[in-house]
Structure 1
């Protein structure tokens, strides 16, 4: 026997607590010869007697007391590990790794996490700010459990991507501007612009929207952080195009009073999907998915055009 067996250690601790081989056998529901074999194997592995056999009492030797103290710690740790794993199997606890863009994290994910915290407080969601391509790559590599990604996406082996939300893209303008009620590519292209970084799906969507109107504007600055973009809009630095996220009940996200929001003509939508590895997810991951699906819009906000 090369390694110490927890079963053998449990037998040793039971004998020390109960004072006899026979009592330990009854407590552990083992045959007396099995209890004797456990101790013989342990003593052979240690190379020294662990128990002192007296007339009507079995007591630990000095070496036995040292091993018993360590055995109690090991057995307690093993029991705790089994309890923790059991809670994860039941979906009562666990760690879920999620990747998403800054916009989804700022405006959508908190609603799902709030609901999850009420129903499953033992689940720990670790969030990473990633582009859609980074999210899919990490999911495929097993480094993530769930991803919120822009659609459409090319199929990735081993991953399931399902449509989740469809949020309208709106023009966000400084409130001091004299802006039309509905914003067109021609009008917006003539304004100073703050747009998303070119590696993002939103950048490609907005570029296509301008191109449909025959416009190819150059932004003053390109960023991949929507809150920073809105801060610049509020400061009057320029206008932008961003998704207008709303809750599952249609409640609008609070807007900086220095910013006004206008619908686009033609209308533009930012579709999002939920990605995860194909197959039955672990219970904790399933509960997070359920909280996210609760945010799926049942009614789309109205947009002009």
Structure 2
């Protein structure tokens, strides 16, 4: 069986006309080259090179092989260049997502970038998601470990605004107060509370209830948003949160005096605007967040 190594040795010997020169071109020893040519002749069952006193001469079989050998090497070269010139797969888009963003929004973002390979059929780059609190997301963005983040905006000119919403009480859908248009803080004095530790206004919420003499019993304190909301849906307690967190089995009811709001937006790392624009991320977020 012909191997590329033997074909290249044969071509180098023909082109240089010398075992010494061919060995030098290929960066092998002369005995290695001689052994290679002998192996090629044995595999083909015929002499290829006539070794004369001052020169080397091809046999008839050697001349026929040379035509094929050059074609083989040319095709190898084309194949190598084709592979090397193919652009490498686009790296995944690294997106940080605020822990308190509704899971259905995060899932909808991921769904837009699902697919095999470096890009899907629409040419969108694949996505890697990092779920973390605001401070952690901002640190990773500054360290260029993330390309963009979806988080709470601190000022009107920071990032691109995607959603603005208020906070409310989140109750089980079957709760006795679920149909109310607004709740009074004192009505919650006897309620069991689920504490969302990932809440951006956790300290403010604690002060709000303490100032009104409401000190509920806590059934769970957790940073796991889905677990907290699942317990609310199951009737194990109530919680506070952005209105967008209310979903299946829960309702959001405004709480008098609890007038906090949040602005969710996209912040892009320095120098990554072109990447974000090419990925189509902005359009996706405006649809699903």
TM-score range, shorter chain: 0.5 to 0.7
Which is further off, 137-146 or 104-113? 104-113
Shift of 1:103: 4.0
Q: Does 1:292 align with 2:289?
A: no
1:133 and 1:116, CA in 2 relative to 1: closer, same or farther beyond 3 A?
same
Q: Which residue of 2 aligns with 1:165?
A: 163
1:278 and 1:210, CA in 2 relative to 1: closer, same or farther beyond 3 A?
farther
Q: How does 1:33-44 map to 2 (within 5 A)?
A: 44=25
Cα deviation digits, residues 202-259 of structure 1 (max 9, x gap): 423533543564656563321112221121112222111122229xxxxxx7421xx3
Q: How does 1:139-150 map to 2 (within 5 A)?
A: 139-150=141-152
Q: Which residue of 2 aligns with 1:26?
A: none
Q: Which residue of 1 aligns with 2:83?
A: 77
Q: Which residue of 1 aligns with 2:221?
A: 222
Q: How does 1:142-221 map to 2 (within 5 A)?
A: 142-152=144-154, 161-179=159-177, 180-197=180-197, 200-210=199-209, 213=212, 215=214, 219-221=218-220
1:177 and 1:283, CA in 2 relative to 1: closer, same or farther beyond 3 A?
closer
Q: Which residue of 2 aligns with 1:255?
A: 248
- Conserved 8 A contact 2:163-2:264: yes
Q: Which residue of 2 aligns with 1:268?
A: 260
Cα deviation digits, residues 245-298 of structure 1 (max 9, x gap): 29xxxxxx7421xx34312223332322222212352435642133224456xx
Q: TM (normalized to structure 2)?
A: 0.62
- Conserved 8 A contact 1:196-1:202: no
- Conserved 8 A contact 2:159-2:267: yes
1:209 and 1:229, CA in 2 relative to 1: closer, same or farther beyond 3 A?
same
- Conserved 8 A contact 1:207-1:216: no
2:192 counterpart SS class: coil
- Conserved 8 A contact 2:199-2:241: no
Gaps of 5+ in 1: 1-11, 22-39, 89-93, 247-252, 297-305
Q: Which residue of 2 aligns with 1:299?
A: none
- Conserved 8 A contact 2:113-2:124: no
1:193 counterpart SS class: strand
RMSD between aligned alpha carbons? Answer: 4.5
- Conserved 8 A contact 2:150-2:264: yes
Q: Which residue of 1 aligns with 2:230?
A: 231
Whole-angstrom CA distance in 1 between matches of 2:190 and 2:142? 42
1:222 counterpart SS class: strand
Cα deviation digits, residues 156-191 of structure 1 (max 9, x gap): xxxx64433212222122344322441233323442
1:79 and 1:164, CA in 2 relative to 1: closer, same or farther beyond 3 A?
same
Q: Which residue of 1 aligns with 2:94?
A: 97
Cα deviation digits, residues 31-67 of structure 1 (max 9, x gap): xxxxxxxxx999546246899997888949x9x9999
- Conserved 8 A contact 1:193-1:221: yes
- Conserved 8 A contact 1:209-1:268: no
1:76 and 1:265, CA in 2 relative to 1: closer, same or farther beyond 3 A?
same
Report which of the two structures shows the higher radius of gyration computed on alpha carbons: 2
1:163 counterpart SS class: strand
1:123 counterpart SS class: coil
Whole-angstrom CA distance in 1 between matches of 2:141 and 2:159? 11
